[in-house]
Chain A
């Protein structure tokens, strides 16, 4: 297992290098000049040139790349061109809200979708099954921002149970922290609940037809044991894959939810950085996200061995 882990980590290095180079080149080739943006309306060409020099943007692209890579390997992700703040500080500030939101959403997703999928498979063809499948179609079809506005209207504005927007860190107390995560997490999880409920149902249907399930029932095991210990565990590998990649997708794709609920997370940071041509911030976030994908995929692969004893590395 340890050897496999190390091999996978080593294999990630060329992936990250190619990605770093691609991102770097794409950004330099895209239209928009940060120096012009920073200089403002009345800047003379000399002032723009002076800013470009100060930012190191007048260097050849390969020099800029090697300087950036060299700094990054030493843990220095650079400074935002626009706010002059450390990129690492900006990412750290934004990582917590996004990870908190993604974790809360994944908890909602797992708690709701897996039982729903299991019950739908168990009662295949019944009204429960039809209801779960219909609701999952709605979850797929309705855009996240629409769901967001609906839950805000109902739970925050009409009922006044939860806040409309914003994020508070755990430092402000668990109540403050959790209350502001409930609605966005519910909203963000809607599509994943639909996806994973369907996935769980499909996997369970396959497994429930297997001989060992019939054997388990024949020897008198209770239905709950059959479903959750024998069937769900065997159906778990594809479900785990979707949950794992779902988490990575949530971290990198929460921008709509973050905007609707005004959560200052990574999604908003990268959109702002792209619009402002803030190269160091964009590069760092893309690399971070890619690293997260690689890491989560590795964790998913390792988790197979835990859920399915037949898989060994």
Chain B
């Protein structure tokens, strides 16, 4: 063959036309094949991958959300944070010590067997092992007794004002009701099955940890008659199937919803939001107006933050606006808020300190450091490198602390290393830490009893940082016992002032997550957690 013949053949119009037609034909055929899917399947990209299937022993938010798909709770919490009957109604004895719960009719497990008081009792005991609020109830519990096939009694050793609030709270660990044999499993052991009594069934053989979790409507579920609101009211399901897909790349997620590959994004990245807001086929909205609080926590056990003056200096050094601008960027979705309960809740108060919301007072912080004789001991801040919503805070705070005269060391690490290191109570020079950052849903912060960062019992039961503050504990107990709203508000204000005075933790601002969904979805339920009941999908 002459030397140029092959190239000439490739360049002929006939060859090019044939190749183009073949490519177009194949692409069209493949494209058609990919868009065939069931109409009532909702594909949702959640904020994180589901790996652990135990929503009580795991503190992961995604495990909690999984729990709400397949389990139910005795009490629900409506969108206004008011407890409402869900699986059960309740009565309280006159002395406030005996709570009698009556299970509503039609409650069955996914295997068809009925939900019994024994299941509820075992579940509440398990909840009391893993949750701060559950521990509070557990510590005051004299007995949990089945009365008959529908009723059981929780008898307290002394009255506790907020029992119903604790049973209804959706975070950190809700009081999910599990079958007795599941609830009796020891910590660290896998749950024997994923049978719940909630509105969805978990499809175990399609579960790929870290990739996909599949749920199908539980046809025998008997919903309540009230309208859905938060985790309360009707949980009637109008779609056949929900698929939770994890996408590690946020740009891919945006591309996928724009092209119709997925229907729903639980947390839209703030910086990519404009790519969706310009698409008329997509709705973006805030479904949880309370949102999240981002906070800093100091280590109370070791110098320099074992000195309250130095903790106060750190608090005075910080300004929320800088943190929120770096974390969220778009002012539509954040606000400054110095309340340790989060803002816009029934008892929120910003009493005690305004410096956080007014950009900080570095000069006062510097003076306080001098008064305390701060010796330039390095302050170690832990920064997770792989959690986008926790990466900016340490950088901004480090700069603010340096400006006030702190010697700051920023330690970057992956989240799981940080999780292990934050449990280390040694000084930072020996592998410990001085300041960490985290985000909590306001629904898990909104009262002194459920806010785990306010627990100040030292190394025994406190959250990392291990504050010891008997007066704070006294206030929390009084709040739990309080029987009137006025009492609760007054005590909440006292807690706020004490938290600011002791710098129990530092609120760095409140922000809302933006949910995006394709317009084929409607009636998406508002509330503190993402739910898939009540939702319709157009055919």
Contacts and interface: CB of A to CB of B under 8 A. Distances in A.
Interface of A: 31-33, 35-44, 47-48, 50-55, 79-80, 82-85, 90, 93-94, 119, 122-123, 128, 149, 152, 155-157, 159-166, 168, 173, 175-176, 178-180, 182, 222-224, 259-262, 264, 268-269, 272, 275-277
B188 A163 contact: no
A277 B416 contact: yes
Contacts of B252: 152, 164-165, 259-262
Interface in B7-42: 7, 27-34, 36
Interface string B249-277: 10110011011010000000000000000
Contact of B208 (A36, A79, A93, A128): A93
A83 B213 CA distance: 12
Given A83-B52, A84-B53, A85-B209, A36 B423 contact: yes
Interface of B: 1-3, 5-7, 27-34, 36, 49, 51-53, 57-60, 129-132, 135, 172-173, 186-191, 207-212, 245, 247-249, 251-252, 255-256, 258-259, 261, 386, 413-417, 419-421, 423, 452, 460-461, 463-464
15 contacts: A38-B188, A39-B57, A42-B172, A43-B187, A79-B190, A80-B51, A90-B209, A119-B7, A165-B252, A165-B261, A179-B31, A262-B245, A262-B252, A268-B210, A276-B416
A80 to B, nearest CB: 7
B130 A42 contact: yes
B452 A275 contact: no
Contact of B261 (A33, A43, A52, A166): A166
A83 B209 contact: yes
Given A42-B130, A83-B52, A164 B261 contact: yes
Nearest to B43: A166
B51 A276 contact: yes
Contacts of B211: 93, 264, 268
Nearest to A33: B420
Contact of B51 (A48, A83, A159, A165): A83
Query: Which 5 interchain pairs have the tightest Cβ spacing?
Result: A175-B33, A179-B30, A83-B209, A40-B59, A51-B188
B186 A50 contact: yes
Nearest to A145: B249
A224 B186 contact: no
B278 to A, nearest CB: 13
A157 B417 contact: no
B194 to A, nearest CB: 11
Nearest to B423: A36
Given A175-B34, A224-B1, 4 more contacts: A42-B130, A85-B209, A260-B251, A262-B256
B474 to A, nearest CB: 21
A164 B245 CA distance: 14
Nearest to B134: A42
A145 to B, nearest CB: 8
A172 to B, nearest CB: 8
Contacts of A260: 249, 251-252
B52 A38 contact: yes
A163 B36 CA distance: 12
Contact of B1 (A178, A222, A264): A222
Nearest to B131: A42
B31 A160 contact: yes
A40 B132 CA distance: 12
Nearest to A93: B208
Q: Is the interface of A mostly helix, strand, loop or mixed?
A: helix
A83 B1 contact: no
A43 B130 contact: yes
Nearest to A225: B1
A70 B413 CA distance: 34
Nearest to B56: A40
B30 A175 contact: yes
A179 B210 contact: no
Contacts of A83: 51-53, 209-210
Given A85-B209, A157-B258, A164-B255, A37 B186 contact: no
A182 B26 CA distance: 11
A157 B31 contact: no
B435 to A, nearest CB: 17
Contact of A157 (B30, B129, B255): B255
A173 B59 contact: no
B188 A269 contact: no
Contacts of A160: 31, 259
B3 A164 contact: no
Contacts of B245: 262
Given A157-B259, A260-B249, A179 B33 contact: yes
A166 B255 CA distance: 12
A47 B49 CA distance: 24
A155 B31 CA distance: 11
Contact of B30 (A50, A80, A162, A261): A162
Contacts of B420: 31-33, 36-37, 277
B452 A41 contact: yes
Contact of A82 (B36, B131, B209, B251): B209
B210 A259 contact: no
A41 B52 contact: no
A213 to B, nearest CB: 14
A161 B130 contact: no
Contact of B187 (A50, A152, A168): A50
B259 A272 contact: no
A109 to B, nearest CB: 19
A82 B52 contact: yes
* Max chain B C-beta neighbours (<10 A), residue from A33, A83, A93: A83
Contacts of B247: 165, 262
Contacts of A128: 7
Given A47-B187, A83-B52, A276-B51, A259 B249 contact: yes
Contacts of A162: 27, 30-31, 34
Contacts of A82: 51-52, 209
Given A40-B58, A43-B130, A128-B7, A50 B249 contact: no
B1 A50 contact: no
A277 B248 CA distance: 18
Nearest to A115: B6
Contacts of B186: 50, 54
B248 A268 contact: yes
A130 B370 CA distance: 69
A261 B261 CA distance: 12
B302 to A, nearest CB: 18
B187 to A, nearest CB: 5
